[in-house]
Structures are given as structure tokens and as C-alpha cells.
Amino acid sequence: MTTSTLSIQLYSLRHLGGLDQQLDAAARAGFTNVETIGSHLDDPKALKAALAARGLHAPSGHIGLPALRGDLGRVADAATEAGIAQLFMPALPPEERSGDADAWRRVGTELGEMAGRLKERGISLGYHNHHWELARFSDGSCPLDCLFQGGAGSPLVWQADIAWLARGGDDPKVWLEKYAGLLVSAHVKDQAQAGRNEDEDGWCDVGSGILDWPDLWAFASARGARLMVVEHDNPKDPAGFAARSFSYLKTIR
């Protein structure tokens, strides 16, 4: 296995309470890196202090499109203060997801322009996918292709959520290969067998589901994913999920 950096998305731990409780759980599980969500940048000094108190680092964070559109300079200032060098836009606002191919290309162009401005501040910007970007338009193209077409030639990069690619019905490896030139990070989560864990939206501890993570980890890492971020969208036992997933990943890294 490669030496990609292992992290955990704090969204997975949100049900434990505030930032302190989330960071405590991440540290107890064995993680030394975390990925933040947008609200964590509201007070970057407090975030930086909370991380330092636990010996943690936040190499990456998610930030919503409204925040990027609203004040990109403030976002850059906050990320710099907190030590975050990679930002990923996690999802288009719901009202923008039903756009046609040209609309998705325009979003890609917009994100690419933002990526260029953030690069001047030493921060990279990438897109994080779900499954709806795989729906096909009448011409056979899909939103994910169109977004990357719109961002072509810009510094925009990609954080591949591999489990969402699989849930969308596609072979994740096809996408990882296709956009290896953009791939810098991947979300590491697992999908339960059909009919199981319905109260957790069908997700499960990494290593306990249907995805072949030893193979996918190596494949993604070899194609540019240097930051691997553990995630579960709706765990019943967030702290247990973090600990069990970390323990499993130690055996395959």
C-alpha cells in the first residue's frame, strides 16, 4: 500500500456534539488529521487552537458554494489561519442540481475561476461528488463530465467520493482512471449489503461493507489521491465508527 495521508471528515462525528467532542473522538480513534466542514471556518482561531490542543491537523476542509460566492477572500483568510491548504466544494445547492449540461459546465468554469484565485493564496480548490452527477443527459454526457469540461485548464481538482460513485451504479475505477489528472483526494466510506443499515442510510464501517477497499485504496492512491478521508454520512455510533474504521484501515495501508 501507499503512504497516502489518512484523515476523517468531521461531518461523520457531528452527532457527538460540538467541535471539541468531534475532535476528541477523532483523536481517540487514532486519527491525527481531520477534514472540516464549512461552519468550522466561522472561527478559525478557535479551530486552530482546538486542533493544536489535541495534536491534530486539518489539511483539508469542505466549504459550500454560497460561502465561496459570498466572500472568497474571507474563506481564504480563514483557511490560512486554520492551516487548511485544500478546500473542496461538497455539493451544489439542491436548486442547481437539475441544470442541463451547459449549466454544469458553467459551474465548472465558475469553480475553476475560484480555484485560480485561491491558488494565488496557496490554497487548492476541488469538487467533491455524490451520485447525482452520474445521471445521463440525452446526449450521453453526465454532469460530472460537464463540470470538469467547464473547469478545464484551471487549477480545479477532484475529491472522489468513491462510495457515491459505486452507489450511482458506475465502476469507481473507471472514473478514477478517467480523471486521474485531477484526482488529489478520496473519501473512504463503505456501503452495506442491500437491505442492511437502512437506519444509517445504507452506509457502514469501512471494511464491513461491499466495497473492496484494499483494492480501491491502492487504485486511487496510484492515480493521485494522496489524502484519504474516512466518512460515514449518518452513523448510529459515530465514535465507534471512527475507531473501527481506523483499526481496519491500519491493516490495509
Which residue type, as a one-letter code, is found at position 43?
D
Q: Which helix (H) or strand (E) holds 29?
A: helix 19-29
Angle at alpha carbon of residue 52, lines to 226 and 230, rounded to 5°:
35
C-alpha cell at 201: 442510510
Closest CA to 38 of 6, 20, 65, 69: 65
Q: What is the pLDDT of residue 2?
A: 53
Mean pLDDT confidence for 3-28? 97
- Taking the model in full, what pTM does it have? 0.97
pLDDT (tens digit, 9 = 90+) per residue, 80-126? 999 999 999 999 999 999 999 999 999 999 999 999 999 999 999 99
Q: What number is the average pLDDT over the span 139-148?
A: 96
What are 57's strand-pairing partners?
33
Residue 199's CATH number: 3.20.20.150
Our count of domains for the chain comes to 1
- Give the domain range for residue 142: 5-252
Q: Give tens-digit pLDDT for 37-65.
A: 999 999 999 999 999 999 999 999 999 99
219-232 pLDDT, tens digit each: 999 999 999 999 99
Do the strands 203-204 and 57-62 form a parallel or antiparallel pair, or are they unpaired? unpaired
